[in-house]
Structure 1
């Protein structure tokens, strides 16, 4: 994967096509190959014959299982999925836990959905391996499994719908913060849960980016975890600045974390002196950009991510694709997509938001 230094400036334009880059399991979801989790289950890609020209089956039920229900990010993503699924004439449902770290709760929901004989599950995994046994049991019973936003081990699902190249996300967040602090000073990362697949993958690329000579005067002092909980993330931000009063910047690659960190900084003496970037939604971050707490941050369109997961699930359930690399399918207005290495489909490049463009977006 080649990192891109000038991210796409407009998410609003529909994605016509996406270039898929060959990545290893560790680059697209933070998983490891040959995991023992669910090793007796189906292989990652079905060998069944497919018909790319087949019509979408009708009467399918596509169930969404986000990391956390009532999380604003997943509300947007899953509503995008609902719109796509229902536009195809299928049935949409959403289930999930109210906690972003309840892996046993996610397992229970997978088991219930399997018993209900849904046709496909679109899941954002809280842990790369914890769901494997349940998901592979679902697959043995004919349920197609699509992961979106956060992946499982590669042998526990059919396709992973990635929001953007993991490398692009990890490296560009370092670049954004480095520009803001003049390539010098102590920085910290405020993540979600310690087991979050996507978070750990992005952080891995952040650490690798920081090894470059250009960042020799930047020191990562700590990775803190807010568990995608607003109060915990707020307290973690406060704790970081108490522990490191000379901190120059924070990267928070989680929409809950960056908003909580911005809230704390906005009302503190650190506003304008401690820089903050990461992944956030324009609606959550607009006030903090406009009041000078945050200069820039990035994200993809979560509604389109949810929609792509829905289109992928229907294509799998209809026999149009099996998840094998090189297969192509059409995702409505989003355009045509090609399945890449490790059965990964990439939505597109992240968009950088700042004072010059944030008013143009509403999500």
Structure 2
């Protein structure tokens, strides 16, 4: 496992708040170089989500680098079957590679397998389907590592004792639910004095997450901390806490980005949070799809391929490729990063 710190420091890569305004929109630009025009379509959980704008921008960068044709499509609102029509359309168009962050592990399978039968290589990233429904899954970090770092941070920030809550994304989100289950197990095994009193869902919507934060504080007056394992959720929760009486009293941690969370770290709302590099995740996903489309790999365990300046990667069990480990951001290092 590894994190490419040089790419972490690369400028203008990541913007997980709307104010930064990075957009990864569809493009008919075939890229540069002498590529064979491999068509790669990214299908995020929903459009307008700054996290996916960033990850998909990494995918677009990779596609242009190897001379392919990039596109991004998707629903406006995340939902279990909201991506199905886009998968069907991509298959009908003969897209070479479809890169999907799945809203549901099962609801997409029929369409994804039909696309594969039609010749489209399917790569999932960020949030997986069942393994039999895709060729590869590009995992941002192990679920165990993501869960543990968040539990460790909240335990450190509240003195390993007291009530906490989780503010998640959509109730059906594969990755969120896996992390939450592991966080619950880690709390039970290693933190007996921390009580998880509620898990709520903000649907990766800023206003909904903001309102859920307010409701958590109202419903649980003894709450000492909130974990939000979603970039939309943690920023909305920080926005609420920053102007409330709970600022500095209720700890907030989870998954965010430096540019998104910098002001909240500097004003004392947030002490520490974590994340991988979403741009690298999209970049790696595109290169993995290219390797599949070229026949360089099949997705079998032990297959190896190159992902540009990220280096060499090896396919693990269940067709999984691991990007690296989570990284902690705090007041001591947050100004070292610009994404």
Scaled by the length of structure 1, what TM-score is found?
0.84
Question: Which residue in 2 is equivalent to 1:86?
Answer: 64
Question: Which residue in 1 is equivalent to 2:48?
Answer: 70
- Once the two structures are superposed, residues 308-358 of structure 1 have per-residue CA deviations (whole angstroms, 9 ceiling, x without a partner) of 000000000000000001111110000110000111001001110000111
> For residues 95-244 of structure 1, what are the structure 2 equivalents within 5 Å?
95-101=73-79, 103-212=80-189, 214-244=190-220
The CA deviation at 1:104 is 3.0
- Once the two structures are superposed, residues 273-332 of structure 1 have per-residue CA deviations (whole angstroms, 9 ceiling, x without a partner) of 000000011111111001000000000110000000000000000000000011111100
Corresponding residue to 1:299 among 261, 275, 292: 275
Contact residue 81 and residue 103 of structure 2 kept, 8 A: no
Separation in 2, partners of 1:146, 1:105: 18
Corresponding residue to 1:247 among 223, 235, 238: 223
Tell me, what secondary structure is at the counterpart of 2:87? helix
- Once the two structures are superposed, residues 249-290 of structure 1 have per-residue CA deviations (whole angstroms, 9 ceiling, x without a partner) of 000000000000000000100000000000011111111001
Corresponding residue to 1:270 among 210, 222, 246: 246
Separation in 1, partners of 2:208, 2:160: 29
Gaps of 5+ in 2: 9-33
Contact residue 73 and residue 281 of structure 1 kept, 8 A: no
Scaled by the length of structure 2, what TM-score is found?
0.90
The CA deviation at 1:57 is 6.8
The CA deviation at 1:360 is 1.4
Separation in 2, partners of 1:87, 1:360: 27
The CA deviation at 1:13 is 2.7
Question: Which residue in 1 is equivalent to 2:330?
Answer: 354
- Off by >2 Å, runs of 4+ in structure 1: 10-15
Contact residue 11 and residue 300 of structure 1 kept, 8 A: no
Separation in 2, partners of 1:185, 1:99: 35
Gaps of 5+ in 1: 1-6, 16-55
Contact residue 81 and residue 310 of structure 1 kept, 8 A: yes
- Aligned pairs, how many? 314
RMSD: 1.5
Tell me, what secondary structure is at the counterpart of 1:118? coil
Question: Which residue in 1 is equivalent to 2:295?
Answer: 319
Corresponding residue to 2:255 among 274, 279, 286: 279
Tell me, what secondary structure is at the counterpart of 1:323? coil
Distance 1:86-1:57 versus aligned 2 partners, 3 A rule: closer
Separation in 1, partners of 2:98, 2:123: 6
Distance 1:93-1:137 versus aligned 2 partners, 3 A rule: same
Question: Which residue in 1 is equivalent to 2:311?
Answer: 335
